[in-house]
Chains A and B, each alone.
Chain A
Amino acid sequence: MLGQSFSFAALASQFLVGLSRAMILFVVCAGLSFVLGVLRVPNVAHGALYMIGAFSAYSISTLLGSSPAGFWLTLILAPLVVALVSLIAERALFCHLYQREHLMLLLFTFALSLILGDLVKLVWGATYRSVLAPAFLRGSFPIFGSAFPRYNLFLLVIGPLVAIGLWLFVNKTKMGKISRAAAVDREMVGALGINVSWVFAAAFVIGCYLAGLGGALVAPTISITLGMDHNIIIEAFLIVTIGGLGNIWGALVGSLIFGVTQSLGVLFWPQFAIVFPYTAVVVVLLLRPTGLLRSVW
């Protein structure tokens, strides 16, 4: 309950746990934000794709075993499964809706999330699954006098790598530049002879790939179950909103706020830990209604 006293060590280690949680949130939210920026659609199916990422990580890792090579392959293959699913959904259905009003696009992604959620139930069943991290990432080491899981340290390394990779992609590659241009003025990009439909497809698939990567990264830390999509999608929406819609760095800032307030909340008031991040979101939106960083639209 409130009023407990905390050692600095507990605070610091909980802060680190929050940071590593924020890294997973960032990977997921960066994808959501990227899609939001280019397509201007809040992709409700993002959570379901994250769930598929986690479940395919389970299947692939049981197939390959928990050797280091198997782990790395899982991290590469599971998001690709998700990317493939999203590519099919995009080319078969979603791409025919780009001319329609926004609400229809949003509702389509909602329909997709319902369908994908039930397909996961169909394929993997309703039982709890878990993935074992490879030996070199198992266990924990002492930091600030308390144990810090190694896998969380791994996450703290991966998160910035994804951020840098995404930055390089968006700013340094032709594809990234085109997608940024399409976010700002899609008619002009089309007028320059670029196939905007395929730009959108690529952006959508890349965003969904990141959802899958988030799912694959989170797999060893939680029990994988149906319904994990519902929680992540609300969190991801809120993070993207407080960061500034479509702004990838905003997603990073938002993830840090959300992850850290959540893990510190566990320390202060375990029963209502879930309330802290939502309150943080409300406060941010009241102070800066359009997000902390500049949104792209």
Chain B
Amino acid sequence: MFKGVGNPSTTLRTRLVSHRWLWPAVGVFIILLILPPLAPRFYVYIFALIFVTALLAMSLNLTVGYGGLFQFHHSVFYGVGAYTLALMLTKTSLPMWVGFIAGPIMAAVVGLFIGWFCVRLSQLYFGMLQISLGSLIWAIVFRWYTFTGGDDGIHGIPRPPILSSSNRAYYFILFALVICLVAMYIIVKSPFGATLQAVRDNPQRCEAVGINVRRHQLMAIVIATFFAGVAGVLFVVLERSVFPSLLFWTLSLEIFIMCLLGGWFTFAGPMLGAAIIVALRTFVGKYTEYWTLVLGVILILLIFFLPEGVMGYFLRIGGSANRRIGESGKGAG
């Protein structure tokens, strides 16, 4: 009953390959692959930043879009992943790859801890408890000068020699993003992913047919926070610094906007949203210091005119509207 959204009998491989988005995606990937030698350095950096942010937004969408959870403070896990790697690179003499593995795992552990408390509550209370627990972590990072560097953060983090140039970092981030996207796609299309969406749409009925709703929600949170941790690690690779605003709640809401902008109930939507927001911030930021004003106006325009997001809009006018879009209220609200 809950085996995959498509035809249950198709194997994973055919499901992946037969997907009509596959070839455009491969095309985009090839373009991104040959970009660094051709584009100016600044654009390579911006693209890498978009990849990192896209991964973060995608991971949020696992809980918000697919899980229907009020994951209001997702950036905490991003920050935890980044800080874990940064601290391991600067404070310990362990091999560098240990930090790269520890970052996402630490984020997932924190996600498990916070999620374990949160899934017992519903909707707005879930979000509020998460904000309070997340703010607690932010407050500790912000104040613990001797360990985390307090509000200054940590700068000049050494990169492993293999990632020494910015182009190499770009490729590392790109490949990590692709691996994570494939993994997320497999998760979303797996029986677990289908069950999670069923839980989102009707928790009572799922409970009635014997699905452990809370365990599925918790699992979704742990997976999402793991990928957020990966994004945090990639951020350190890119920026070589960490600071407490990575864990601040305004960033969490900004990622939320990315998901909304791209489209909640599409797989690649949040990625598109992240690209739009990062690109806009970069180029609008050049001309005005009132970036948040612009962001606010964009958000209001979105709410009034494009509530299903850019991707959802294109899917709708393309005549292949996701069946969820029409009743999107139930899932998220």
How far is B131's CA from A108's CA once the two chains are assembled, in angstroms? 19
A285 touches B136 (CB 8 A): no
A118 touches B293 (CB 8 A): yes
- The residue of chain A having its C-beta at the shortest distance from the C-beta of B257 within the complex is A107
How far is B132's CA from A234's CA once the two chains are assembled, in angstroms? 8
Confirm or deny: A290 has a beta carbon within 8 angstroms of a beta carbon on chain B.
Answer: yes
B295 touches A278 (CB 8 A): no
A271 touches B143 (CB 8 A): yes
Q: Given A110-B253, A118-B290, A118-B296, check contact A282 B303 (CB 8 Å).
A: no
Chain A residues with a Cβ closer than 8 Å to the other chain, count: 41
B303 touches A97 (CB 8 A): yes
Choose from B136, B296, B332 the contact partner of A103 (Cβ within 8 Å): B332
Confirm or deny: A181 has a beta carbon within 8 angstroms of a beta carbon on chain B.
Answer: no
Q: For B121, B303, B328, which residue has the most chain A Cβ atoms within 10 angstroms?
A: B303
B333 touches A101 (CB 8 A): yes
A234 touches B131 (CB 8 A): yes
- The residue of chain A having its C-beta at the shortest distance from the C-beta of B289 within the complex is A121
Min distance, Cβ A44 to any Cβ of chain B, angstroms: 8
One of B35-43, B99-107, B122-130, B266-274 at the interface: B122-130
How far is B133's CA from A272's CA once the two chains are assembled, in angstroms? 15
A237 touches B131 (CB 8 A): yes
Q: Given A110-B253, A289-B125, check contact A103 B292 (CB 8 Å).
A: no
How far is B142's CA from A113's CA once the two chains are assembled, in angstroms? 23
How far is B270's CA from A27's CA once the two chains are assembled, in angstroms? 38
A117 touches B292 (CB 8 A): yes
Q: Which residues of B contact A238 (CB under 8 A)?
A: 128, 131-132, 135
Q: Which residues of B contact A97 (CB under 8 A)?
A: 303-304
How far is B293's CA from A143's CA once the two chains are assembled, in angstroms? 47
Confirm or deny: A9 has a beta carbon within 8 angstroms of a beta carbon on chain B.
Answer: no
B132 touches A111 (CB 8 A): no
Q: Which residues of B contact A279 (CB under 8 A)?
A: 136
Confirm or deny: A150 has a beta carbon within 8 angstroms of a beta carbon on chain B.
Answer: no
How far is B253's CA from A26's CA once the two chains are assembled, in angstroms? 25
- The residue of chain B having its C-beta at the shortest distance from the C-beta of A42 within the complex is B124
Q: Which residues of A contact B304 (CB under 8 A)?
A: 93, 96-97
Confirm or deny: A69 has a beta carbon within 8 angstroms of a beta carbon on chain B.
Answer: no
Q: Which residues of A contact B16 (CB under 8 A)?
A: none
Confirm or deny: B198 has a beta carbon within 8 angstroms of a beta carbon on chain A.
Answer: no
Min distance, Cβ B214 to any Cβ of chain A, angstroms: 13
Min distance, Cβ B263 to any Cβ of chain A, angstroms: 14
B300 touches A93 (CB 8 A): yes
How far is B333's CA from A102's CA once the two chains are assembled, in angstroms? 6
Min distance, Cβ A240 to any Cβ of chain B, angstroms: 8
Confirm or deny: A114 has a beta carbon within 8 angstroms of a beta carbon on chain B.
Answer: yes
Confirm or deny: A129 has a beta carbon within 8 angstroms of a beta carbon on chain B.
Answer: no
Min distance, Cβ A277 to any Cβ of chain B, angstroms: 9
Confirm or deny: A281 has a beta carbon within 8 angstroms of a beta carbon on chain B.
Answer: yes
B290 touches A121 (CB 8 A): yes
Hey, what's the 0/1 contact readout for A74-118 against B, CB within 8 Å counting as 1? 000000000000000000010011001111100110111111011
Min distance, Cβ B64 to any Cβ of chain A, angstroms: 9
Q: Which residues of B contact A122 (CB under 8 A)?
A: 290, 293
B292 touches A118 (CB 8 A): yes
Min distance, Cβ B265 to any Cβ of chain A, angstroms: 13
Q: Which residues of A contact B307 (CB under 8 A)?
A: 100, 104
Confirm or deny: B276 has a beta carbon within 8 angstroms of a beta carbon on chain A.
Answer: no
How far is B121's CA from A285's CA once the two chains are assembled, in angstroms? 9
Q: Which residues of B contact A194 (CB under 8 A)?
A: none
How far is B143's CA from A290's CA once the two chains are assembled, in angstroms? 30
A114 touches B293 (CB 8 A): yes
- The residue of chain A having its C-beta at the shortest distance from the C-beta of B327 within the complex is A101
A230 touches B332 (CB 8 A): no
Task: Give 6 nearest A-B pairs by CB, closest first.
Answer: A114-B296, A118-B293, A101-B329, A111-B299, A115-B296, A241-B128
Of the A-B pairs whose beta carbons lie under 8 Å apart in the complex, a sample of 10, sorted by A's number, is: A44-B253, A101-B329, A101-B333, A104-B303, A108-B299, A111-B300, A117-B292, A238-B135, A272-B139, A275-B136
